Structure 1
């Protein structure tokens, strides 16, 4: 089944935004202003490194809390979100693990969209986030010869309007 496309205000399909093999992203709903991400069209799902995670219940629904240090030597961020799902995920070595998935906003360049991410330990990886093909489908194209086409987002998320 073809993927549904949203038309812009003029009734045209919006242009696809080009990405390099690595980009800076923000996850504003989680309080993460900027994070290095590897764009990986070979990975179906997106993965976010967490230093620690814990489960709890809110209003009878399952939630996850977690801590992440988005940049080396940077401030630790503590976030929480409802658990969307739990699924088996195979890593690049073929090892399968059960991971928590959540839904959150991704901001990358001029695009902001809802994506699914799973939480995992990526401490031995160069990038704390892996941006998989389901997160980029329909909005982005990838040029593997280029990188960081959209620059770094600001260090801090904008505060509430005064």
Structure 2
């Protein structure tokens, strides 16, 4: 793909790419901007090439996710395995001001698939492509994520009603 076409795609999808970058960075605006800048450089310099095997949006989201993942590795922000996959029933009360904070409490893959499907309108198949995992794993993370998010919301509501 030629540079003018790439620039046009970047301009058209910038808004959505920014929000996906922000979500990949734990809603840190400055880090999201840095990552998005690196993504655009990769694309314009030819380091990240569109192979036309998927839709442009899916490819762009994959590049953003991969770049954010690289960034996290450099910053040593690894998720510990003991964090588990589910929200404990008797955990401390949930104190969160927004849905963004509740979503950030989910394990990484659950959070990613819910954000891709609910906020970016991708199908589970496209989300699986972006996340570079199988459709079965994507469905599992999607179902667990919805269940865990519901638990968090109910826990938050119970805490607010108890005040």
Does the pair score TM above 0.5?
A: no
If you compute each CA radius of gyration, which structure gives the higher value, 1 or 2?
Answer: 2
TM norm structure 2: 0.27
Give 1 or 2: higher helix fraction: 2
Give 1 or 2: higher strand fraction: 1
Structure number with higher relative contact order (C-alpha < 8 Å, ≥ 6 residues apart): 1
TM norm structure 1: 0.27
